Chain A
């Protein structure tokens, strides 16, 4: 007899494991496709999923099969014109019509590429795999403390779901022993006496009766001791305790002066978007401070940082001074992991560059975990880069990188935040 089963409610993701196996096997190819893709995206949709293509030859599963040639006979249907013995020019191999050939490759989905979609999460995971903030330390009991729950013995009151059965019964046993132990001993002794008297035949009725009465009385009292009492109940106790929490703040310093042309600004923004995604994805609680500067620096919010149009001359030290001020005011170095990323085209008022170095060395470097500077320019380095190079010699937590074109952004980003060997 047949029966119908409604399987629609069963999970549909029976193939998830196999899909993961596939991703795992082709991890390096997929990663490469992802890092190629990140540069080709517009700033707005940098977080959507991605179409990944890997060469078909890499994923083929070989089998023995027959090659071309030899002597073959094939039966076809639909004869409309042939008679036995007709000779036909051999048709060109595969496909035939010349026009069709070009179209397949135009759409980017020709046969030599295996194309598939990965989700947004998978994409970002791959994008930021093996990256971390360098030198992060768990340093502090924050005001917004992170709590963890752990077992902490037993309590005598709690909710019924947490009753500790073993402990409660242990208590019950202890109480019953305490309340009835001496009586039981007495019963035993009296019983012995009764037995002895009976054995001796010394049946002086009244005495034995009295003993028996006493035994009965004791037994009654023993039986009155309850098996379990609310007094015995114990509950598992859980306590919350504060865990040391790493708090971190990232300063994003961007040059928006007139010398930064639109493409340069776009590159800087791209870099910061990557940084922002990376931070928000990997570290749940992180403060980000945005500072933009031309001749003056200004702390701005996220939206203004990425979208506002404003230009002027360039005094880099203004941003550093502002950062120093904010750090002093809000982020004491013993409580915060402080990071900074600065992007500029390297153009600075010449006299200002030594000042920048001075501020960095005196005020900022001792307090930050990591300071990364990226210079986005196609021209030769100027004073700022040279001053910063000196800083980098003295401080291992200072990194500077040079971005020439769009394609450099992601590799430089990876370079700056790669996971360091423990």
Chain B
């Protein structure tokens, strides 16, 4: 198409709703051209203050009230006012319709960038990626959040703000241990959810009492070794507490359940940072370039887009004062761009490393990669030597038993494989979050709950905060709680405990 034949869209810089609409139509057309399958979009324009509100509720459009969100709000407000941080241009929520917030202050090129990035990039990722598909239910999340907000408000009315706050505090402390990492029950609908909640309320208390009932006939002969309860260690601590804590009221169990569900909802986002941001960045880049190639947008427009895009994908080097780890936007964008390159212009190296995708249809390959991986597996599958070279990756081994830290691999022939597996491991959540599971409950004795920490690579548990978390767990469980560590030689060591003070 010749540039002269196409009516160029205004490049602002100010925007208005009709103009947004025009841009949206074009972006949508191009997105469909690239087969981006999305939930319906709901695009909301908000002010900076509202953006701060959205920040502090960790991206939930509706959230229950809790002081910690107030704290986040104050922090955000402070650092924004002091100019220490800019606000994100957008926030996008994994729901159907997919809600995206645009900031009022953005110029029209920025709004277009954000629409491409959030409403088509992230949105299609939410809809397509297997983790989101199997862990979250975009249709019902808003309803569930509303339900939880109302439920908690109701509890505050009935039982007092402090009582509810205590429970929520304790749940927040254990939030990352409220996730089923491996299994997933099918998601019931909201009405089903409500009905079940009623049932649970009626039923649960008796169930639990049953569990603890000491039988009247005393066991005369000593029991053989008592089997552990739970029979298998449980990774979902909040679930275990919700179902088995002896003294909790049914409303308290429901609150645990709410926090657990929300934690579960955010779990996929934690595991797909690089992919999700990389995918969205790749598409805003590709879509805006497509707009430019069709002659729909001006040079001014494109320069502003590129300027911002460059900022987003900047990766400071390890020795830069701005360095704070790998930038997920940079890594993700580099990898998706590289996959496209491998498909379209494979080199001999690519053919050796990626025989199955080199030369294949790039769009198919890209969609396949987006749908079937999480950060960890995505990196170990697709990180190519070229990206490692371009980013000058190197790995540092830091073993506290030696005096030095050592460079264990760099971006050379011998290092590629190692670097790839190490970077992949770096995004493995189970390596980063301490592995702590419910190990045993002393059912016949003092009802104490024992957790076990299995260190990964001898990395110890941070003691002070662990002690605090144990206090929270103690509050939920109602009886003594202990945390043990399995040492390398198989010995069991008591790390910390929280014990009911004897009167």
Contact = CB atoms under 8 A, between A and B. Distances in A.
A12 B47 contact: yes
B414 interface: yes
B68 interface: yes
B159 interface: no
Interface stretch (A3-11, A128-136, A281-289, A310-318): A3-11
A307 interface: no
Range for the number of chain A residues in contact with chain B = 35 or more
Interface string B26-46: 001000000000001111111
Interface secondary structure of B, over-half rule: mixed
Interface in B39-92: 40-47, 49-50, 52-53, 56-57, 65-71, 73-75, 77-78
Interface stretch (A67-75, A191-199, A262-270, A353-361): A67-75
Contacts of A420: none
Contact of A12 (B24, B53, B415, B434): B53
B404 A4 contact: no
B461 A4 contact: no
A307 B493 CA distance: 71
A21 B66 contact: yes
Nearest to B43: A4
B400 interface: yes
Interface in B169-188: 169, 172-173, 175-177
Interface stretch (B253-261, B279-287, B310-318, B341-349): B310-318
A69 B458 contact: yes
Contact of B119 (A2, A61, A75): A2
Contacts, number: 250
A116 B462 contact: no
B317 A78 contact: yes
A24 B68 CA distance: 12
A78 B315 CA distance: 8
B457 A19 contact: no
A80 interface: yes
A15 to B, nearest CB: 4
Nearest to A89: B404
A96 to B, nearest CB: 10
A79 B408 CA distance: 13
Contacts of A19: 70, 73-74
A176 B472 CA distance: 74
Interface residues of B, number: 96
B394 interface: yes
B465 A65 contact: yes
B455 to A, nearest CB: 7
Interface string A36-79: 00000000000000000000000111111111111111111111
Contacts of A114: 71, 75
B70 A4 contact: no
Contacts of A63: 173, 175-176, 465, 469
A75 B394 contact: yes
B410 interface: yes
Given A2-B41, A21-B67, A67-B461, A76 B468 contact: no
A64 B326 CA distance: 23
B221 to A, nearest CB: 41
A64 B391 contact: no
A64 B466 contact: yes
B477 to A, nearest CB: 16
B127 interface: no
A29 to B, nearest CB: 13
A4 B21 contact: yes
Interface of B: 17, 20-21, 24, 28, 40-47, 49-50, 52-53, 56-57, 65-71, 73-75, 77-78, 101, 104, 119, 161, 165, 169, 172-173, 175-177, 315-320, 323, 326, 391-401, 403-412, 414-415, 419, 422-423, 425-426, 432-434, 436, 455-463, 465-466, 468-469, 472
12 contacts: A8-B45, A14-B50, A24-B161, A25-B165, A73-B395, A78-B320, A79-B393, A79-B410, A84-B410, A87-B404, A87-B405, A116-B74
